[in-house]
Structure 1
Amino acid sequence: MDKRTELTARNILPAKKEAELQGPPPSLYDGPESSYRLAFTDEKFLLRDELRPVRMQLELLKPEMVQKEQAIESTIVIFGSARIVPPDVAQRLLTDATSANNETAIRIAENHVRMSRFYDEARRFGALVTEKSRQLAAPIYVVTGGGPGIMEAGNRGAHEVGGKSIGLNIVLPHEQAPNPYITPELCFQFHYFGLRKMHFLMRSIGLVCFPGGFGTLDEMFEVLTLIQTGKCRRRPILLFGREFWTKLVNFDHLVETGMISEVDLQLFKFVESAEEAWEALEAEYGFDLPATEIGDLGSFDMED
């Protein structure tokens, strides 16, 4: 070795090298009761209840480090139901139900057809964000929960115009496989809901909420609460489909009963199309202005 390189050479072997060099344990210490294995290669040890803080730290660090390596600074988050299907699938379900003369199936299929327009809008919005932001110094990447339905549509839109997108999957009792449109190196899996939701916000410059159920409501109201209470930077929250949201949540009643302030209604905006959503983001950030006037879109300034 060149003597000059020894000045900066590592004094201790990296953990990866140690793991590679570790051979099989001596026969006396090869049983299941043995504690001989290196701690960071011992899966049984890492999965102990007492190691939960370590596992939580790993779920914070892995997506953060990978996104930094991929130079991802700003994201748009798309929330929405896993149960909303593409229009062609919805139409096929209706055709099958009609052929079977099954009234219950027909009613369900008709609802799928009505809601499928949101799949199309999420798909077009994912494509629009990806295409429009290419001219920016720091492109904006679509982030979804990584599953089917609206999440699939957002990733699909970005994929179809040749862009990268992120999926933050969660382990569920009923297995949820990642949709096939997520960029592989940006497809993550979480055990902890809390850390997953934290990663939704860390680089986001805006959040777009399509119709959804408990999961979507949980994600939307957490963001509204964090912004309302000043725990994170204010950013646009766009609710797709005024009719759906105002029927689901009586925001005016919350104001009338004093549960929220009237000014809190300014925390979100209703939109109906992909173009209207992008225009709202343009108005907020001035994407058509010179880069020096846009500012730092993706800074993470939630309370530590």
Structure 2
Amino acid sequence: MSKHKNKLTARNFPSAKDEARQAQARPTPDYDGPNSAYRLAFTDDDFMLREELRPVRMQLELLKPELVQQEQGIKSTIVMFGSARIPDQASAEIRVAEAQALGDAATLKRAQMQLQMSRYYEEARRFAGIVTRESLARGNPIYVVTGGGPGIMEAGNRGAHEVGGKSIGLNIVLPHEQHPNPYITPELCFRFHYFALRKMHFLMRSVALVCFPGGFGTLDELFEALTLIQTGKCRRRPILMFGRDFWSRLINFELLIETGMISPGDEQLFHFVDSAEEAWALLESEYDLTQTHHD
């Protein structure tokens, strides 16, 4: 009869998960109360949420998405920024019809503008589909990453989902609760407290940034990326701005050059595009998409 042999690589100590489960399964009534200091530090929410633990919480927000993406084999991403307020075309058409039925001129004007802007939702959706499908076909998947919410963010995740690809959502806790859109791959749907760490994860794996019309949040993300590239803090990569007319009216780049606020040539840090196909063609011209990844 053969003797049972121990596994050579067996753990020398119980895991933190094992000990946490054991502590939960066998509580100590005299010490496990709400005000007790007896709880394991890493399972004690009151302790983990102390002001002094902010550096630890920041480290955790950096580590969790990083480790999950490593495990999922995600090496290259395309970041899609844009307004949460831009609807899909079908929804916008319904709002126009409802506004027409109401007979209110101001409501109708707003609905018609939303319908006009909905073309950006549809372009974002098509672009995300092209990126996901074409990069998978070349053996170098590029994953769409968005802020996880509605509008342009939803369009990006939706486009990837519709062609059978995975996509990432980096959600943020806001005073008015943001709900993840239904097209994010569940195991890649993250939630952040710190804006700064969310922004880091947008850029860490990105091979390009695609910016659709948006408000303060979109402008914040766009100009931070431009600043990091302009100052050499991160490598240069394509920044595509969808909608030449929108961006040209919103930002007077010529004035920035004329007044010396940016240097001649800084306007070449980004490209205007007006269609999903134009954006994809630019990326194809920038990268060898058949090149094998090396760790």
**TM-score for both structures, normalised by structure 2:** 0.96
**Matches of 1:92 and 1:25, distance apart in 2:** 56
Which residue does the alignment assign to 2:208? 206
Q: Is the 8 Å Cα contact of residues 25 and 36 (structure 1) preserved in structure 2?
A: no
User: CA separation of 1:263/1:44 partners in 2, compared to 1, >3 Å: closer, same or farther?
Assistant: same
Report how many aligned residue pairs link the two structures: 292
Question: What is the identity percentage for the equivalent residue pairs of Structure 1 and Structure 2?
Answer: 67
- Identify if the C-alpha distance between structure 1 residues 219 and 33 changes in structure 2 by more than 3 Å, giving closer, same or farther: same
Offset at residue 255 of structure 1 (A) = 0.2
Give the distance between the partners of 1:211 and 1:183, measured in 2 at CA.
24
1:50 to 52, 56, 59: 52
In structure 2, the residue corresponding to 1:27 is in which secondary structure? coil
Question: For 1:24 and 1:46, how far apart are their aligned partners in 2?
Answer: 22
Structure 2 match to 1:291? 291
AA paired with 1:291? Q
Deviations 1:222-253 (A, max 9, x none): 00000000000100000000110011110000
2:262 corresponds to which of 260, 264, 268: 260
Question: Aligned letter for 1:254?
Answer: L
The answer to whether the Cα contact below 8 Å between 2:32 and 2:39 also exists between their aligned partners in 1 is no
Structure 1 distance, partners of 2:32, 2:136, is 55
Question: Partners in 2 of 1:188 and 1:30 — Cα distance?
Answer: 31
Q: Who is 2:64 aligned against?
A: 62
What does 1:187-206 align with in structure 2 at a 5 Å threshold? 187-206=189-208
Between the aligned partners of 2:53 and 2:5, the Cα distance in structure 1 is: 42
- Counterpart of 1:143? 145
Matched, 1:185 2:204: no
d(CA) in 2 for partners of 1:210, 1:80: 5
The answer to whether structure 1 residue 17 and structure 2 residue 12 are counterparts is: no
In the alignment, the residues of structure 2 paired with residue 2 and residue 212 of structure 1 have an alpha-carbon distance, to the nearest angstrom, of 65
Give, in angstroms, the shift of residue 10 of structure 1: 1.6
2:246 maps to 1:231:
no
SS at match of 2:30: helix
User: What is the alpha-carbon distance in structure 2 between the residues aligned to residue 13 and residue 136 of structure 1?
Assistant: 44
CA contact 2:211–2:239 (8 Å) conserved in 1? yes
- Offset of 1:60 from its aligned partner? 0.5
Give yes or no for contact 1:148–1:178 (8 Å, CA) kept in 2: yes
C-alpha distance in structure 2 between counterparts of 1:163 and 1:17, whole Å? 35
SS in 1 for 2:180: coil
Gaps of 5+ in 1: 300-304
Q: Who is 2:31 aligned against?
A: 29
Q: What is the alpha-carbon root mean square deviation over aligned residues?
A: 1.4
Please tell me whether the aligned partners of residues 83 and 152 of structure 2 are also in contact (alpha carbons under 8 angstroms): yes
Unaligned runs of 5+ in 2: none
Q: Within 2, Cα distance between the matches of 1:24 and 1:52?
A: 30
Shift of 1:28: 2.3
Partner amino acid, structure 2, of 1:149: G
Give the corresponding residue for 1:215.
217
The normalised TM-score by structure 1 is 0.93
**Which aligned runs of 4 or more in structure 1 are off by greater than 3 angstroms?**
1-4
- The one-letter code of the counterpart of 1:216 is T
CA contact (8 A) 1:76 1:204 kept: yes
Query: How far is the alpha carbon of 1:286 from its aligned partner?
Result: 3.0
**Are the counterparts in 2 of residues 25 and 37 from structure 1 also a CA contact under 8 Å?**
no
Partner residue of 2:165? Answer: 163
- Separation in 1, partners of 2:29, 2:118: 61
Cα deviation for residue 26 of structure 1 reads: 2.7
